[in-house]
Amino acid sequence: MRAASRQNEIHIEQLNKSYAQQTSAGDLHYIIQDVNLAVKGGEFFVLLGPSGCGKSTLLSLIAGFVSKTSGQVRVGEKEVDRPGQDRAVVFQQADSSLFPWLTVRENVEFGLRMKRIPAAKRKDISNQFISLVGLAGHESKYPRELSGGMKQRVQLARVLSNDPAILLMDEPFGALDAMTRRTMQRELVRIWQDTDKTVIFVTHDIQEALLLGGRIGIMSAGPSSKITDIYEVPLAYPRDLTDPAFHALYNQIQSHFDE
Ligand SMILES: Nc1ncnc2c1ncn2[C@@H]1O[C@H](COP(=O)(O)OP(=O)(O)O)[C@@H](O)[C@H]1O
Ligand SMILES: [Mg+2]
């Protein structure tokens, strides 16, 4: 069992975000409004909502990539005001995050090199995560020689080898073919179960949310999106798609998005 850990807890209170300039008093167009959320250390939390509702915006606020308009975002005791090594982000498109002039292994080892981990140790770690994501044998290839799914797996191996306390994942498997996607979903759950990482995983796919999440936060359609409901998923991993309880939850969650 994982011990609850304070420094990978996330607390969000009365969080508002507008990209617009204020035109007159109180006249702000909020992307997300009055978001409150507490994620415990070691939790696998899914943010589920329709396209354009503000999921990436919320994740970017937790990552410290964009600044809030008002409210609070805390990781552990600390107010988030910039990106930090405690929070790693995995994006949908790996292309923008891999270095095209580095091989698979060099990409995966990049953060370890920055932390001045000795070469032998780096190699141990990169071997572990390269094989975990199923890329053993491809260590010497360059990103241009890889499919989209392989690039995504390099990105995941690189993030995991840095061993961040918090993993922020923004539709990371959205561009993968269905089979690779299922493998990655299973692997991610396994990795998460083996560590005390807190995961916040963004998706617009109900099935994916139910395969992965311990809790699922439902975001309303924007503008002024908020987390309207939180579902506990009382199903054991690996989740069984044929379980009637899975279907019941699926339908219950689907009803939020029926209009
Ligand atoms: N940098 C930005 N400047 C202005 N508007 C933005 C910016 N980023 C996102 N938005 C707007 O915020 C809303 C939510 O976007 P986003 O967080 O990407 O949603 P999601 O990830 O749920 O699809 C959209 O209307 C989008 O156009
Ligand atoms: Mg998005």
Kindly report, residue by residue over 129-185, the tens digit of the pLDDT: 999 888 999 999 999 999 888 898 899 999 999 999 999 999 999 888 898 889 889
Q: Identify any residues that bridge with 211 across adjacent strands, giving them in sequence order.
A: none
pLDDT reported for residue 1: 40
Number of domains in the chain: 1
How far is the CA of 111 from the CAs of 59, 71, 125, 173, 198, in angstroms? 21, 32, 11, 22, 20
Residue 8 Cβ < 6 Å to ligand 1: no
Residue 136 lies in a domain: yes
Specify if 141 maps to a domain: yes
> Using N-to-C axis directions, what is the helix angle for 104-114 and 148-161, rounded to 10°?
20
Cα distance between residue 107 and residue 87, in whole Å:
18
Q: Which residues contact 211 (CB under 8 A, 6 or more apart)?
A: 185, 189, 238, 239, 241
Helices (H) and strands (E) in the chain, counts: 7, 10
* Shortest-distance Cα residue to atom 23 of ligand 1: 52
Contact 203, 195 (CB under 8 A): no
Ligand (nearest to CA of 219): 1
pTM of this structure: 0.91
For 170, list phi and psi in degrees, rounded to 5. -105, 95
Give strand ranges (E) for 18-108: 32-39, 44-48, 70-75, 78-79, 87-90
Where the chain has pLDDT below 50, the residues are 1-4
Give residue 3's pLDDT: 47
95 vs 16: CA distance, rounded Å: 30
What is the predicted pLDDT for the residue at 223? 87
pLDDT at 26: 61
pLDDT of 21: 67
Distance between CA atoms of residues 168 and 153, nearest Å: 15
- 82 located within any domain: no
- Confirm whether 50 is domain-assigned: no
Residue 152 counted as domain residue = yes
Specify if 216 maps to a domain: no
What pLDDT sits at residue 33?
95
Supply the pLDDT for residue 183. 86
User: Is 67's C-beta closer than 6 angstroms to any atom of ligand 1?
Assistant: no
* Domain assignment of residue 152, given as a range: 87-163
**15, 18, 19: which to mutate for ligand 1, most atoms within 8 A of CB?**
19
Residue 102 domain flag: yes
Neighbours of 117 (CB within 10 A): 17
Pocket probe mutation, ligand 1, options 15, 17, 31, max atoms within 8 Å of Cβ: 31
